[in-house]
Amino acid sequence: MNAKPGVRRIDVGLGDRSYAVLVGAGLIDAAGEAMAPLLKRRRTAVVSDQTVWGLHGARLTAALERAGIAVWPVIVAPGEQTKSFEGLADVSDRLLALELDRGDLITAFGGGVVGDLAGFAAAIYKRGIDFVQIPTTLLAQVDSSVGGKTAIDTPRGKNLVGAFHQPRLVLADLDVLATLPVREMRCGYAEVIKYGLLGDFGFFEWLETNGAAVLAREPAALAHAVARSVEMKAEIVAEDETEQGRRALLNLGHTFGHALEAETGYGAALLHGEAVGAGMALAFRFSAAQGLCPSQEAARATAAIAAAGLPTTLAEVSARPFAADRLVRHMAQDKKAQDGELTFILARRLGEAFVAKQVDPGAAAAFLQQEGAA
C-alpha cells in the first residue's frame, strides 16, 4: 500500500520479509484496503483486549468488512497478566477453534501486550502464520509493534519465552491515541525519548523543546515523534534483526526496568513504560557513577525523563525500599546476560549508548544502595 498524503511510510528492510510501517491519521479506516493484498482468503482473526475492542472494534470491523474481509474477534482481558502461558494457551486454542490455516492472517489490534501475545501465537500456530500489527498505544506504535519481537512473561522474568516473528504490515493510526489515558501516553513517551538518548542527540534536543506538545497529542509534534522513532527502530532492526549487536541498544533502561517490574509484580503499580523511564535514568546515573558519562549529562537525561511525568528514582517507583541483591538477581536473568555475567546498556553521553558486558554485580548492587535500595 502506497502512503497517502499525510501518511508516512517507513520500510523495514529485511529482504523478502521486508514490510511497511504506515504512520498517520485515519489508518484504521483504511485497514481493509491495506490488508486485502496480504490475504489469500478474505478473513482474519483479530486478537484484541476488551478495552480496545470496546473503543475501536466497530471501526476496525467496518473498515475490514468494506473490503469484503470477514472478522473473527478473539478478545482477551487487558493487562500484563494476559501475556502468560495461560493467556497464550487460551488464545492458541481459540485460534485453532476458528480452523485458521497457514494461509490465513492474524491481526493484533491493541497495545504491546496484545501485540506480543498475538505475535507469539502467530509464530507458533501451525509452525507459523502471518500477522499484521495495528498498535493502539504510543508505546506499541514506536516500539513493540516494529521489529518482530514476540514473547510472554513468566514468573522468572519478562519476555523470557518468545520468538522473532516479523509482521507483514504495521498500521500506526495516530487518531486512536486520542482515547489513550495520560498515564499510557507517558509510558509511550519513555520509549520515544529512548531513541534520542541512545543514538540521536538532535532528536533528544527536539524532545526537550517539544515533549509537552507530543504528550498533549498536538498532531504535527506527535506525527514527527512517532515517525522518527519508527525510522530509528527500522534502521536498527534491518541491520541486526535478532539482537546480536546494535539492536541491543534498544534495551536502554530495560535491564533496570525489568528488574523493577519483576519486584512490583508486573501489574498496575508500575507500567512498562514507567519502568523504562526509571531504568533509563538509573542507567545514565550508573554510567556517571562508573566514570563513563559526564554527570551533568546524566542529570540532563534524568530531568528530561522527569519532565514527562515519569519516575526517575527507586523511591518514586515504590515507597518500600527495594532489596539491591534481589534486583541484581533479576538482572542476571535478563536476556542479554551471558555466562552468568551482567550486560547493561550504558551511555558515554547523551545520544551515545553502548553495550557494556561483564558488569560487576557488586558495583551494580552498591550503586542501587546509593540510590536507596536496602
Catalytic residues: 127, 149, 191, 233, 243, 247, 251, 254, 258, 272
Contact 293, 347 (CB under 8 A): yes
- How far apart are alpha carbons 17 and 352 in whole angstroms? 30
- Judged on CB neighbours under 10 Å (0-12, 13-18, 19+), 244 is exposed
Can you list the alpha helix ranges (DSSP code H) found in 125-200?
138-139, 182-199
User: Residue 123, Cα to own-chain centre: how many angstroms?
Assistant: 18
Number of alpha carbons in the 13 Å side-chain half-sphere of residue 45: 29
What's the grid cell of residue 144?
513493540
Cα separations in angstroms, 42 against 57, 100, 104: 18, 12, 8
- How far apart are alpha carbons 87 and 81 in whole angstroms? 8
Number of alpha carbons in the 13 Å side-chain half-sphere of residue 163: 16
- Judged on CB neighbours under 10 Å (0-12, 13-18, 19+), 332 is middle
Q: Find all residues with CB under 8 Å of 211, minimum gap 6, and list them.
A: 189, 193, 304, 307, 308
Q: Where are the beta strands (DSSP E) in the chain?
A: 8-12, 19-24, 43-49, 70-76, 105-110, 130-135, 149-154, 157-164, 169-173, 342-349, 352-359
- How far apart are alpha carbons 250 and 209 in whole angstroms? 23
- How far apart are alpha carbons 37 and 340 in whole angstroms? 47
Q: What is the DSSP letter of 140?
A: I
